[in-house]
Structure 1
């Protein structure tokens, strides 16, 4: 007698319930970080004579800023150009002035600019982003397709390519080509990136390899569930915590810091460093992406070893009868 499957109505109900539960989890994951943006230990510089600097620090909101002292405006600007702070409050002979680094985060630059207006302080952008993308919207919007295509490439390699060495090579080829082509579009065509083309190409190529390699590697060792796990970690969790359009220090903590240890957050930070700061501050996110890329490629090879392991039916020793 044939086994009866689940009734179609039950399957439909289970699908509906499952998707609604997923929706209930995903909506706050994406909406809560954006709805709770605010400075939390945001690195800024205060420069100027000690009494006036102390007075300014006393008027800053407690817990909002992580303050570094500098003797003068030149030292403060050097920290901004080295991608070590988002803004500087500079006290000069004529009063306070505010220096920003909008290349690090246009959102932070806008928030600091609003504070400067309340202080009647002039604002100078020391490390700007692209003049063709002053609000940074093009950078954030252009980075998302890089993540989606890398996820798609990793899933396609895991599902459609049989040989593990072929998958390994496919990840590397994709990373190199993505790094070569994407800056042509984002920098030469759209103008949302500045800086050295080769540095931007290396950053995007490493990011693409890290994402595609993670998906391919987990797919190699765990099949479709592994691909689902990679998509969950890289995109569904990593994207809302990435702060690509804001800054990690604006997100509720520790989630802003956690996002920088996931590929999209690290990739966005790395590309900002190469595009707007000549590579300053690139070491941390580069190491994160290198770790993901290496782990993904190693998992792909581990999957190859696992599939080559002989089963009892294939093992010649298993076919030798035991001695009587």
Structure 2
């Protein structure tokens, strides 16, 4: 293949990658809609409201019926549902939690008010997003930099640091420093994420380690092709389906579910749980991130064992040329 043919191949490949990125990022955003979104409806008119929702938007909501208002509020605080519709005593009242998802809070408010007629339903934001970021724009925007920085750190460690042990040192250093610095900016300077600083910094550090570790681990285990596999997985699948700006139940399925098993989606869910819900619902995303981190370390171990075996293998000696007979 000459230079012209290689240039044509690179151009076509780049165009295909561009098309894939447009699909990955634009398609989820263009198809935002409730899909089995967990909500609670309680009170004497609960069954009628549930029936109207099912008739108006089939398969949009997964409805539970707690015993009373207190139980509905507890379900929201425990991240079991995104909101609740309370009936009885006049027009329905709506409980939302913009801390869980401003996009869902807006949709629930609109749906409930359409069903209630006049007067409009009273809406209470029981777990609000940060006052400096009421629409969750800054929160959603902070996940992508964490992922991109993790990829960049992983690439640098893979290409510049030859020793597996030194790569581990670099990953741990990046995780600790990255977590502290990122939260110092997001919480200390911008003040857009509430919650305990050190816990949030630990979450950001775990995300940084998991993303960078995946890149370094795959590169160590299978070579430079691992860098591309890890980067494309995190950017083309993990980031657009992370639901950082919406909710997993608003994305096309099964991609909304799959996104929660990748570091970007798990990072968004874990940060929300820590920042707004005192850790409620944190177990699953925490286990996802820890699993990615453990797998990354395991891949580094595989690469280290392979390199050690190659170094210990005896070098075949070349037998001397036979002396010709006189």
TM range (shorter): over 0.9
Q: How many Å apart are 1:24 and its aligned residue?
A: 2.4
Q: How many Å apart are 1:154 and its aligned residue?
A: 1.1
| Aligned residue number for residue 3 of structure 1 | none
Moved more, 13-22 or 225-234: 13-22
Is residue 2:49 matched to residue 1:53? no
Deviation string for 1:86-125 (max 9, x for gaps)? 1101113123111001111111111112223322211100
| Aligned residue number for residue 294 of structure 1 | 294
Provide the rounded CA distance (Å) in 1 between the counterparts of 2:70 and 2:93.
13
Provide the rounded CA distance (Å) in 2 between the counterparts of 1:78 and 1:245.
24
The verdict on how the C-alpha distance between 1:320 and 1:9 changes in structure 2, with shifts beyond 3 A counting, is closer
Q: How many Å apart are 1:31 and its aligned residue?
A: 1.0
SS class of match (2:246):
coil
Q: How many Å apart are 1:311 and its aligned residue?
A: 6.5
| Aligned residue number for residue 63 of structure 1 | 59
Provide the rounded CA distance (Å) in 1 between the counterparts of 2:104 and 2:5.
50
| Aligned residue number for residue 324 of structure 2 | none
Q: How many Å apart are 1:272 and its aligned residue?
A: 0.7
Count residues in correspondence: 312
SS class of match (1:92):
coil
Deviation string for 1:212-236 (max 9, x for gaps)? 1111101111221001000011112
Deviation string for 1:295-323 (max 9, x for gaps)? 101111211111121369x516x5498xx
| Aligned residue number for residue 87 of structure 1 | 83
Q: How many Å apart are 1:194 and its aligned residue?
A: 0.5
SS class of match (1:309):
helix
Unmatched segments (≥5 aa) in structure 1? 1-5
Provide the rounded CA distance (Å) in 1 between the counterparts of 2:225 and 2:317.
34
* TM-score (normalizing by structure 1): 0.92
Provide the rounded CA distance (Å) in 1 between the counterparts of 2:265 and 2:179.
17
Provide the rounded CA distance (Å) in 1 between the counterparts of 2:187 and 2:97.
19
| Aligned residue number for residue 15 of structure 1 | 10
Q: How many Å apart are 1:63 and its aligned residue?
A: 0.5
SS class of match (2:80):
coil
SS class of match (1:95):
coil
